[in-house]
Amino acid sequence: MANILVFTDLRSGIPSTPSRFALGEARRVAGELGATVYAVVATGDIVPEAIDSLTNDLGLAGADKILFCSDAVVEKAPLDATHGGLLTVLADRLQPLLFLFPAGGSGPELGPPLALRSGATYCPRVQLEILPGLGAADPTHGPRLILRYARARRDRLRVLDLAPSHRAQPVVATLPAGFPPHAPPGGVAAEIQMVRCPATVECPIDEISTTPDPTSAIELASTVLVVDRELAMSRTSTTPLANVALASVEDPALSLACPALLIYLGASGLDGGAVAVSPTTHVALIGPAGMVRQPPPFVDLTWQIDEAERTRAVDEIVEALAAAGLS
């Protein structure tokens, strides 16, 4: 039976929205492929009540089984030097068809080294799709798993077609931000397994200081509005688990974002390549005609407004997202 592993990103002890979206995506394709979905939780000391709460949350999000690793090593920054050993052991043991990382920063750090050690393909910012089998061309007659991912130069996509007979090589992938499916009412009985962190050689990396990142909402948000610095500074920052984030064009956290909806709101001096996109990301450009000298690639939505209406447009978009249940 195939396995799908999903790395769970905890923020203040709670699974991030992109993590629950990733589990929902895993659940969706696992249903078609007959696969088991594992949520991987790597954390420091954890009390039994927190395990119960996380088990329920992650089960509702789509996990069949939850692998908890509680160890001081993985309490540190999510780096290959701290987390790579654990993830490699899990990949070796469970031989997953897919090892998914949610949007939010840990995937680009942990995914490539894991893929290289596991002999896997690494696909950033994927869109997962299931298509019918190939018929006589594939004796297993099973469904095909299609992975699409956007290159930085967004003129072409890469498409990986994994028919059952081509699934010898596993795939490590990161996902864009998105919304988890509505959870079924009541609790879900996910199975818990405690796993040991493998003994590691001395880590050559010391954390000197750790400070909360006030812009971390950007990397988790499913909607990112890129605006001029003055407008970004004038607005109250969103909470860490919110799904909408306002970012300045100069914000370094933008490079960690991969939203479902990316909106450039008359942002001058913007760099279209600064934000990663997936094939499913919609890119909107709002402003008067000719306002942006160098529009970003792949704009597929435009909304012409006057310069003076920019601030009001932000409010209207936030209200529209709330009305649609997307904030």
CB closer to another protein out of 191 and 207: 207
- Min dist CB 135 to another protein, Å, is 20
Which of 136, 152, 189, 308 contacts another protein by CB under 8 A? 152
Which of 92, 161, 191, 306 contacts another protein by CB under 8 A? 161
Listed ranges 22-30, 71-79, 192-200, 227-235: which one lies at the site for another protein (CB under 8 A)? 71-79
- Asked if 235 touches another protein (CB under 8 A), the answer is no
Q: Are strands 126-131 and 144-150 parallel, antiparallel or unpaired?
A: antiparallel
Q: Give the separation between CA 87 and CA 199, rounded to whole angstroms.
A: 13
Q: Is the distance from CB of 107 to CB of 113 less than 8 angstroms? A: no
CB closer to another protein out of 158 and 235: 158
- Asked if 255 touches another protein (CB under 8 A), the answer is yes
3-class SS at 204? coil
Residue 250 is given by DSSP the state: T
3-class SS at 15? strand
Listed ranges 32-40, 112-120, 134-142, 191-199: which one lies at the site for another protein (CB under 8 A)? 112-120
Q: Give the separation between CA 229 and CA 94, rounded to whole angstroms.
A: 47
- Min dist CB 26 to another protein, Å, is 20
Residues 6+ apart with CB under 8 A from 239: 217
- Min dist CB 64 to another protein, Å, is 25
Residue whose C-alpha is closest to residue 273's, from 265, 286, 287, 283: 283
Nearest 5 degrees, angle CA 22-CA 27-CA 30? 120
Phi-psi region of 40 (alpha: psi -120 to 50; beta: other; left: phi over 0): beta
CB closer to another protein out of 53 and 88: 88
Which of 92, 191, 207, 306 contacts another protein by CB under 8 A? 207
CB closer to another protein out of 76 and 192: 76
Which of 18, 24, 59, 78 contacts another protein by CB under 8 A? 78
Which of 199, 208, 236, 290 contacts another protein by CB under 8 A? 208
- Min dist CB 95 to another protein, Å, is 17
3-state secondary structure 257-289: CCCCEEEEECCCCCCCCCCCCCCCCEEEEECCC
- Min dist CB 188 to another protein, Å, is 26
For another protein, the binding residues in 261-320 under the rule CB under 8 A are: 261, 263, 271, 273-274, 276, 279, 282, 284-286, 298-304, 313, 316-317, 319-320
3-class SS at 131? strand
How many residues touch another protein under the rule CB under 8 A: the total is: 85
- Asked if 112 touches another protein (CB under 8 A), the answer is yes
Which residues on neighbouring strands pair with residue 149, listed in sequence order?
126, 158
- Asked if 240 touches another protein (CB under 8 A), the answer is yes
Residue whose C-alpha is closest to residue 240's, from 8, 3, 10, 4: 10
Mark residues 163-202: x for contact with another protein by CB under 8 A, - for none. Answer: ---x--x---------------------------------
Give the chain's length.
Answer: 327
Q: Give the separation between CA 273 and CA 153, rounded to whole angstroms.
A: 8
For another protein, the binding residues in 116-145 under the rule CB under 8 A are: 116-117, 121-124
CB closer to another protein out of 190 and 260: 260
For another protein, the binding residues in 13-52 under the rule CB under 8 A are: none
